[in-house]
Amino acid sequence: MKYKRILLKLSGEALMGSRQYGIDPERLSEYAQDIKQIIEEGVEVAIVIGGGNIFRGVAGASAGMDRVQGDHMGMLATVINGLALQSALENADVPTRLQTAIKINEVAEPFIRRKALRHLEKGRVVIFGGGTGNPYFTTDSAAVLRAIEIEADVILKGTRVDGIYNADPEKDKEAIKFDNISFDDVIRKGLKVMDTTAFTLSQENELPIIVFDMNRKGNLMRVVLGEKVGTEVSL
């Protein structure tokens, strides 16, 4: 295995499958099986999940809602997704803990770094919900922050696209994919990998990011084995 401890970033939209909103149980089950495969190989897995399939704080703010209120609603959406993913993993016999940046003691543990590390060492998947616990910060920022805190080897950003392109491959058939690209080149070319705060934090801490297609079965295993899947962003 190339990576011993990973932080897997999943978007809320990834959980929709072919639906227009909400959660697709089949997609969740597929993800759980892929995660189970790498757990069985001894990889330690932490997950940060978005909430865009349920609610986006930015979208609420653009519609006239108070931004802080909207972001808090978005944080709760990530907890709902975290609970759904936890259930899918446990149905696949994968021991899991959900930790949240906002206190919801009846449904999840509060985020405590030492506890998270202990869970990982014991082979449990740790899902981090609630973003960073602060408004104005995305779940991308939460993913990088948690990855640094747990000393992850890499951030794996699972998307529905198979890497980073110089244009949107879903709109431009001539778009060119990068196999490897530096942090500086991503910034220079204006490519959207993560929001600027998250991306800069990752660069400052020399934490590589791999963007790959999570919806293709077996890709997660191929990435942790070190195969050339998706696009790697590094120094």
Candidates 2.40.10.500, 1.10.287.3240, 3.40.1160.10, 3.40.30.10; CATH matching 5-234:
3.40.1160.10
Q: Which is nearest to 158 in space by CA: 219, 202, 111?
A: 219
Q: DSSP labels for 133-192?
A: SSTT--HHHHHHHHHHHTT-SEEEEEESSSSEESS-TTT-TT--EESEEEHHHHHHHT--
Confidence (pLDDT) at 53: 92
What are 45's strand-pairing partners? Answer: 6
For the CA atoms of 24, 112, 71, 136, the dihedral, rounded to the nearest 10 degrees, stands at: -130
Decide the pairing of beta strands 209-213 and 231-234. Answer: antiparallel
Domain extents for the chain? Answer: 5-234
Confidence (pLDDT) at 78: 96
Q: Compute the distance between CA of residue 51 and CA of residue 81 in angstroms, rounded to an integer.
A: 7
Confidence (pLDDT) at 171: 86
Confidence (pLDDT) at 64: 82
Q: How high is the mean pLDDT in each 10-residue block of the chain (235 residues)? A: 95 88 93 97 97 82 85 95 97 98 96 98 98 96 98 95 89 91 93 91 97 94 95 95
